[in-house]
Structure 1
Amino acid sequence: MKNRLKELRQLHQWSQSDLARELRVSRQAINGFESGKFDPSLDMAFKVANLFNVAIEDVFIYEAKNSMQILVERVKNFFGFDFGFERFAEKAIDAIKFAQNEAVRSQESQVEPKHLLAGLLADATTTSAQLLRANGATLEIGTNEHSFASGDNLKFSPQSKFVLELALQVVRVQGKKSIGTEHLLWGLVRLADTNNMNVTDLFECYKINLEALNHQLAEIV
Structure 2
Amino acid sequence: MFMWRCSFKLAPDEVEEVFSVAQQRLVDQTSALLELAADTWILTGRRPFPLFLAAVYVAWQSLNPLARMKYSLMKFCKIAKAPEQLWCKSKDTINKRLNELLEVLCKLGRELPWVRPTDIQMNTVTTLVEDILKHRKALLILAVKHYEKQLEETQTSQYSESELSDSKSSVQTQCKSPPDEEDEGCELPPDHWGKRHLFLPPCVRSQKRLKINEAPLEVTGDEDISDSEIESYIRSEEEIKLFAKARKKICKY
TM range (shorter): under 0.3
- TM (norm. structure 1) is 0.27
Larger radius of gyration: 2
Instruction: Report which structure shows greater RCO (CA 8 Å, sep ≥6).
Output: 1
